[in-house]
Amino acid sequence: MTNSKFAMKRTWRTLLPSTVMLMAGALMLFGMAACGGSGSGQEGQMVSYTDDYQHTALIPVSPQRVVSTSPAVTEIVYALNAEDLLVGRTDFCVYPPEARGIPTIGGISNLNVEKIASLEPDLVISGSMIPQKSTLQLDRMGIPLVCVIEKQHFDGLYENIAKIGQLVGRTHEADSLISRLKGQAAALGTQPGNDSLNRPGVYYVVGFGASGNFTAGGNSFINDLITMAGGRNIAADINGWSYSLEALMQENPDFIIIRKEDSATFCRTAPYNQLSAVQQGRVIAIESGMIDLQVPRNLQAISFIKQRLNEKGGW
């Protein structure tokens, strides 16, 4: 696989079905809102919290030192203007650019747990890719860890923003951000769906090459982003990430969406260079993180893709 983040999608826990997750989410949003936002009177108070993997931890109501082990979590924390709480982040947490100034605690699959401990965090917020070994080490050290994982549908972005807002004591900021993003989504005039009428076929490249071909299936929020932009995900009928080269060549999609850093290599590599989208200049190179992470920039990705579909195809 070429420059793929697919390998990092592995997790030691099984994702819950979306229906159960939503029901659990309603229970997980505990009474922190009743306690209000961050305030000096709440420092030191603890509360029981059950995360997206049904792991319960005792966490501070008003954390003062937060470590993020997820690029999506880091980006959302910044969007909530809570970056002053961040004392650690992974090597992959590079957006916004200011995040690079925060001490790193290593990669995602190989977290430096000793470094995390040295930062003396009162809360660690993770995504779906933290290894079991790291979670067990943090548990033994008594460092609270909660996981906020990406959801299968676009609307899950709002749920994650609300959860992270509560975790870092920025509930009002979270409500405001969610309202703003919903307004942007409404202004785009499209909704998630698989209606293929008059929609161009789109293929999103997660990984390609000798290691296999990987894309976002119909059970991913990326599928929603494509349809909200006016496209038809040619892989909507699969669950998971693996896609056959034969199916890709046969479908011969109208457009290819790919991360900027992978675009040039993909376009000159056989047999991908035989695809109509490549030969006709319908490859949409997009900034990394805008579409492959469930973050506020997803709205920018939808707008950008929609514009390119209209420019190149007249759809």
231-278 pLDDT, tens digit per residue, is 999 999 999 999 999 999 999 999 999 999 999 999 999 999 999 999
pLDDT at residue 312 tops 80: no
Tokens 């997790």: give the residue.
11
Domain of residue 254 covers 190-313
The answer on 173 and 30 residing in a single domain is: yes
User: Which 8-state DSSP code applies to residue 273?
Assistant: G
Under 8 Å between Cβ of 52 and 32:
no
Question: 109 falls in which pLDDT band (50, 70, 90)?
Answer: confident
Place of tokens 């299936």: 217
Query: Could you give the 3-state DSSP secondary structure of residue 106?
Result: strand
Q: Tens digits of per-residue pLDDT, 117-126?
A: 999 999 999 9
**CA gap 216, 256 in Å, rounded:** 12
Residue type, 28: M
Which CATH number do you get for residue 21? Answer: 3.40.50.1980
Find out whether the peptide bond into 296 is cis, omega within 30 degrees of 0.
no
Verify that 194 and 229 share a domain, yes or no: yes
Q: Are residue 172 and residue 271 in the same domain, yes or no?
A: no
Question: 53 and 70: one domain?
Answer: yes
Mean pLDDT for the stretch of residues 217-228: 96
Answer yes or no: do 195 and 291 share one domain: yes
Provide the sign of the torsion angle of the four alpha carbons 301, 307, 312, 315, taken in this order: positive
The count of residues in the chain is 315
Evaluate if residue 33 carries a pLDDT over 60.
Answer: no
Number of domains in the chain: 2
Give yes or no for a contact between 1 and 241, defined as CB atoms under 8 angstroms apart. no
- Tell whether 1 is covered by a domain: no
Residue 203 domain flag: yes
